[in-house]
Amino acid sequence: MSTTVPVTTETLKVPGASLYYEVRGSGPVLLMMPGGPADAAAFRNTAVPLASDYTVVTYDPRGLSHSKLDGPLDEERIVQVFADDVHRLLSAITKEKAFVFASSGGASISLELAARHPEQLSTLIPHEPPSPALQPDPAYVRSEMEDIVETYRTAGMGPAMQKFMALTRVKNSGPPPPQGEPTPEMREGIAQMMRNMDLFVGPYMLAVARYEPDFAALKACSCRIAPGVGAESRGELAHDGGLELAKRLGTQAAVFPGAHAGFDSHPDQFAVRLREVLEG
């Protein structure tokens, strides 16, 4: 069972934003990239058991939660800008090659990181990237994602999320909500996630939808790329994306406990499996 470990919070100034990040533990750097509206909090549960062996770095992507924008967001280059943010964050933290685990939309962005800055990476684990380019009918998935964004703009969260769940085929999005009255911290976390949705179901989703990974660069990457999928997410869109990425790279997808967000629902088991894959 996970217990608490000391955490240091820092801020890194990058062009156009200030990146908030958290550091736990000691050892080789393991940076964890969240997806969608998620932030550093997404990995707090699984970061604890990992901190005994790694310097675990979690962060809020620019424009989300504590990572405030200092200027306009280049909406046409979100994938490239977010990848460069991780490049700058790694440069500020270590001179050595780092391990990177990336989830969902963060996994899609991590492919750009590997293509642009392979020299910074030892092993990259892109877990369930939802990129349309990894689907049997990319144009259809891209069009549906664009429609979700338009629905959010014109009709709001409810109708947009209905379409999102139908497209992604998500069966299990995370652990059950805790019983009892939510704590002030839980209330603030929920409120923050709702604020993040404007970026997620907007420019972020459009950027991920339209992103075309450089598969030739990824196959030639000097770093090791080990795509991952959830044991309980078979049949979901992002699970299929992880399988297809592994196929494109000529390898087998590593299976992790839980579904799309197994690091949250099964944090200790997920940490054990993550160690195994990183050491493989």
The 3-state DSSP class for residue 130 equals coil
Taking only the tens of pLDDT, the chain with its 280 residues reads 456 899 999 999 999 999 999 999 999 999 999 999 999 999 999 999 999 999 999 999 999 999 999 999 999 999 999 999 999 999 999 999 999 999 999 999 999 999 999 999 999 999 999 999 999 999 999 999 999 999 999 999 999 999 999 999 998 555 555 667 788 877 877 788 888 999 999 999 999 999 999 999 999 999 999 999 999 999 999 999 999 999 999 999 999 999 999 999 999 999 999 999 999 8
Per-residue pLDDT reduced to its tens digit, 184-207? 877 877 788 888 999 999 999 999
User: What pLDDT was estimated at residue 214?
Assistant: 98
* Cross-strand partners of 102: 33, 126
Tell me the chain's radius of gyration from C-alpha atoms.
Answer: 17
Per-residue pLDDT reduced to its tens digit, 210-244? 999 999 999 999 999 999 999 999 999 999 999 99
φ, ψ for residue 84, nearest 5 deg: -65, -30
> What does the domain layout of the chain look like in residue ranges?
7-279
User: What pLDDT was estimated at residue 68?
Assistant: 96
User: What pLDDT was estimated at residue 99?
Assistant: 99
Mean confidence (pLDDT) of the chain: 95
Do 205 and 150 meet the contact criterion of CB atoms below 8 Å apart?
no
Per-residue pLDDT reduced to its tens digit, 118-137? 999 999 999 999 999 999 99
Alpha carbons within 13 A on the beta-carbon side of 68: 2
User: What pLDDT was estimated at residue 178?
Assistant: 60
What is the rounded CA–CA span in Å between residue 39 and residue 238?
19
For domain 7-279, the CATH superfamily is: Alpha/Beta hydrolase fold, catalytic domain (3.40.50.1820)
Q: Closest Cα to residue 148, out of 71, 187, 200, 108? A: 200
